[in-house]
């Protein structure tokens, strides 16, 4: 039996969300690490061009794709009073993860999911509700999957489709009150570059929302704070036959550094919830030179700094015992926990909670063990929490999404527009000037 939608509005929006989603996931927009241009791959421009055409068709203004791959557009507001001059941003990312195959996505709709194991036609891929409690809860929903050998791309084309369906709906229903909505679709989020060339001054919104979360009702206003570390050891390489007393093996030294790092604590595989970690994720080494890349994460800035010092101390303790080896450690900031920025603009998160409740849902507040475009945008001056999309098992061939929940996300966006026209919201907002560089 088919499950009910969260609201009549969601049911209304569902066919448009589905049609758009099926169109967008077929375009390969997988991003590529170590990019030499923005966007890193041409497929993102292809999707960008399609979206610009569809935004114009829906009646939005200033719809454009810039040369870095950013799509922006405006839906003019129709509210009077304090919210008349207010602009609110809606953001999703165009690219998909480089961590699973992203070309040739062939989406499948599973109508009225029966709650059992889903066998996908390719690659022997199975979705087993016993191993996926969130899937088990979706019996009766219409589900989307890929065909078993690619990702689906709900991360974040679910968000793109939901924003597109919601703004097209609002454009066609001028009787529904709304502030001015600024839309942005960003490239290369999955390789950490989504915010890099985002022009928040030109965007001109007071705040924004990324539609890039997961489970129904989720609202995230907290992300990790993040460093990346590159540790390099230079040894002394000599022909092994003449190495006696001369060779200093950098590979051995680095292997010892890795072995000395904590692994039963402070590792992603042994921590959860609010605990941070040091995660060595790439090692390249010869006897002469070894390089280790690691990411360091915590919700707390002081603890993040402690983890960084622990890595430095460990490397020095191992390598300094060999005076002929040279050690270099580079640590750079990737992004900060968005919470500190959102706390100074509480109405931004409050409005999202009201919108989620207006859709009949209880907001789920959970910290993200990762970052979003919003982490860096919030730091740059555009407060940007994250809202659910209805997609799950991201970055894998098991990725799936509930069409029921995707429709609920689109409906939440329509309600969010109304919330921002309420006098008390608009009044809270005029306390702040729109973000600018």
Contact set with Zn ion (CB under 5 A):
155-156, 212
Q: Which is nearer to Zn ion, 58 or 154 (CB)?
A: 154
How far is the C-alpha of 302 from the C-alpha of 309, rounded, in Å? 11
What is the closest distance, in whole angstroms, from the C-beta atom of residue 151 to Zn ion in the complex? 11
Which of 189, 298, 379, 418 does the annotation list as catalytic? Answer: 189
Closest CA to 414 of 4, 14, 2, 3: 14
What is the closest distance, in whole angstroms, from the C-beta atom of residue 186 to Zn ion in the complex? 10
What is the closest distance, in whole angstroms, from the C-beta atom of residue 340 to Zn ion in the complex? 22
Degrees, nearest 5: CA angle 171-174-180: 65
Active site residue 189: yes
What is the closest distance, in whole angstroms, from the C-beta atom of residue 362 to Zn ion in the complex? 23
Q: Which is nearer to Zn ion, 159 or 276 (CB)?
A: 159
Q: Which is nearer to Zn ion, 370 or 423 (CB)?
A: 370
Q: Which is nearer to Zn ion, 156 or 218 (CB)?
A: 156
Q: List the 400-402 sheet strands across, edge first.
A: 108-110, 143-145, 400-402, 391-392
Three-state SS letters, the chain: CCCCCCCHHHHHHHHHHHHHHHHHHCCCCECCCCCCCCCCCCHHHHHHHHHHHHHHHCCCEEEEECCCCCEEEEECCCCCHHHHHCEEEEEEECCECCCCCCCCCCCEEECCCCCCCEECCCCCCEECCCCCHHHHCCCCCCEEECCCCCCCCHHHHHHHHHHHHHHHHHHHCCCCCCCEEEEEEECCHHHCCCCCCCCHHHHCCCEEEEECCCCCCEEECCECEEEEEEEEEECECCCHHHCCCCCECHHHHHHHHHHHCCCCCCCHHHCCCCCCEEEEEEEEECCCEEEEEEEEEECCHHHHHHHHHHHHHHHHHHHCCCCCCEEEEEEEEEECCCHHHHHCCHHHHHHHHHHHHHCCCCCEECCECCCCHHHHHHHHCCCCCEECCCEECCCCCCCEEEHHHHHHHHHHHHHHHHHCCCHHHHHHHCCCCCCCC
Each as own residue / partner, the long-range contacts of residues 297-301 (CB below 8 Å, 24 or more positions apart, any chain) are 297/224, 297/225, 297/226, 297/227, 297/268, 297/369, 298/224, 298/225, 299/222, 299/224, 299/225, 299/274, 299/337, 299/339, 299/367, 300/225, 300/276, 300/337, 301/225, 301/336, 301/337
Which of 28, 95, 162, 354 does the annotation list as catalytic? Answer: 95
What is the closest distance, in whole angstroms, from the C-beta atom of residue 189 to Zn ion in the complex? 6
What is the closest distance, in whole angstroms, from the C-beta atom of residue 191 to Zn ion in the complex? 11
What is the closest distance, in whole angstroms, from the C-beta atom of residue 394 to Zn ion in the complex? 7
Q: Which is nearer to Zn ion, 184 or 325 (CB)?
A: 184
Q: Which is nearer to Zn ion, 179 or 213 (CB)?
A: 213
What is the closest distance, in whole angstroms, from the C-beta atom of residue 405 to Zn ion in the complex? 16
What is the closest distance, in whole angstroms, from the C-beta atom of residue 185 to Zn ion in the complex? 12
Q: Which is nearer to Zn ion, 189 or 234 (CB)?
A: 189
Q: Which is nearer to Zn ion, 212 or 379 (CB)?
A: 212
Q: Which is nearer to Zn ion, 196 or 291 (CB)?
A: 196
Name the residues annotated as catalytic: 95, 189
């Amino acid at each position: 039996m088919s499950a009910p939608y969260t609201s009549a509005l969601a049911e209304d929006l569902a066919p448009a969300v589905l049609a758009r989603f099926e169109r967008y996931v077929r375009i390969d927009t997988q991003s590529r690490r170590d990019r030499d241009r923005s966007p890193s791959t041409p497929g993102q421009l292809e999707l960008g061009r399609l979206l610009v055409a569809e935004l114009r068709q829906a009646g939005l203004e200033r719809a454009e794709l810039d040369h870095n791959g950013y799509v922006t557009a405006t839906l003019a507001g129709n509210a009077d009073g304090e919210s008349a001059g207010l602009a609110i941003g809606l953001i999703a990312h165009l690219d998909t993860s480089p961590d699973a195959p992203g070309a040739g996505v062939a989406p499948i709709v599973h109508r009225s999911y029966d709650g059992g194991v889903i066998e996908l036609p390719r690659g022997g891929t199975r979705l087993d509700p016993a191993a996926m409690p969130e899937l088990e809860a979706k019996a009766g929903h219409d589900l989307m999957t890929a065909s078993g050998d690619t990702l689906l791309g709900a991360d974040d084309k679910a968000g793109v489709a939901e924003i597109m369906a919601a703004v097209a709906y609002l454009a066609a229903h001028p009787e529904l009150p709304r502030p001015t909505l600024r839309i942005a679709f960003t490239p290369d989020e999955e390789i950490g570059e989504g915010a890099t060339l985002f022009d928040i001054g030109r965007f001109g919104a007071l705040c924004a929302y990324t539609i890039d979360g997961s489970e129904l009702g989720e609202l995230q206003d907290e992300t990790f704070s993040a460093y990346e570390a590159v540790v390099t050891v230079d040894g002394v390489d000599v022909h092994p036959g003449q190495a006696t007393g001369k060779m200093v093996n950098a590979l051995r030294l680095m292997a010892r550094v890795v072995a000395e790092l904590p692994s039963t604590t402070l590792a992603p595989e042994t921590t959860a919830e609010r605990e941070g970690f040091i995660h060595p994720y790439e090692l390249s080494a010869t006897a002469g030179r070894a390089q280790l890349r690691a990411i360091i994460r915590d919700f707390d800035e002081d603890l993040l700094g402690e983890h960084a010092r622990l890595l430095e101390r460990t490397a020095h303790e191992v390598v300094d015992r060999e005076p002929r080896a040279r050690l270099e450690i580079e640590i750079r900031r990737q992004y900060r926990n968005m919470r500190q920025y959102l706390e100074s603009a509480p109405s931004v998160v409050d409005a999202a909670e009201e919108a989620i409740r207006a859709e009949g849902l209880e907001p789920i507040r959970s910290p993200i063990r990762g970052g979003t475009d919003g982490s860096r945008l919030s730091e740059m001056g555009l407060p940007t929490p994250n809202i659910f999309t209805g997609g799950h098992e991201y970055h894998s061939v098991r990725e799936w999404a509930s069409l029921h929940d995707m429709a609920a996300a689109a409906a939440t966006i329509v309600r969010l527009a109304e919330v921002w026209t309420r006098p008390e919201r608009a009044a809270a907002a005029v306390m702040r000037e729109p973000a600018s560089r």
